[in-house]
Amino acid sequence: MATIDEILEVERLEKNIFRGIATETTLSRTFGGQVAGQALVAAVRTVDPQFAVHSLHGYFLRPGNTTMPIVYLVDRIRDGRSFVTRRVSAVQDGQAIFTMSASFQVSESGIEHHDAMPVVPPPDNLPFARDSDDPEIARLAREWSDWDIRMVGDGEVDRRRGMAAQQQVWFRSRKTLPDDPVFHVCALAYMSDMTLIGSAMTPHKDVQINGASLDHALWFQRPFRADEWLLYDQTSPSAGFGRAVAQGRIFDRGGNLVAAVVQEGLTRFLREE
């Protein structure tokens, strides 16, 4: 499997045109986090370093072909004094498979607050995902072998009253990543698609579905490192009509809320052939 360094090392073909590698995978279509992470790298390469990415909003339009590289076309929508906006289209075989808007901001001061981190067992007290009896969790560990993934057990999830579906996951890169903060932001964009829509399935464990990411939004709140433990607190407030909404809050081990995520995914019943 390709490392996160290889995945995020997109090649510049022209001023606003980039190409990301195809990676070995057990998935039938390109992992959505790979497309989002590479698209964000392409956008970052067109922005002055004084602007830091603070949000992205993406739509998955078509399944990606895992055997083909992806070309990223960047549109420089706006260059302002405080904010910069980029639009990125990911293309394979002449068709857009993903489109994303990314917003960047200079460092500024304002009010501050954040939610408290859920009370869950520390990652060191949880089993490796690869040792799980759940075949889906074990598959995650094999596919993302460069990442240490620890699922919080059903009986240890910090449950909040009125929540329809919850799931909590610790994760981090197994190896030390470059110090560049932008790399960690793009790595989190990659990993934020991992396990999130699975939170919608926690009340439906025996149901077989055809699942896929439909759209994805991510807001970066505070600095973090993706090679240090991050807690992904996930909920699914609603599912219906073959789709589910999932929300995520990502905390560092110190309890700081570093990112927020919202995703809608396909969750329709698996069709019989």
Over residues 146-172, the mean pLDDT reads 96
Q: Is the pLDDT of residue 142 over 80?
A: yes
Residues annotated as part of the active site: 193, 213, 263
Helix 181-191 crosses helix 32-44 at what angle (to 10 degrees)?
A: 150
CA distance 251 to 122: 12
The chain-wide mean pLDDT, for the chain, equals 95
* pLDDT, position 93: 97
Over residues 201-211, the mean pLDDT reads 92
Torsion, Cα 73 77 79 83, to 10 degrees, reads -100
271: exposed, middle or buried (C-beta count within 10 Å: 0-12, 13-18, 19+)? exposed
* Strand ranges inside 166-242, DSSP E: 166-173, 209-220, 230-240
pTM: 0.96
Q: Is the pLDDT of residue 9 over 60?
A: yes
% of the chain surpassing 70 pLDDT: 99
The residues, any chain, with a CB within 8 Å of residue 32's CB and separated by 6 or more, are 60, 98, 193, 212, 213, 216
Question: Token pair 């990415």 is at which residue?
Answer: 53
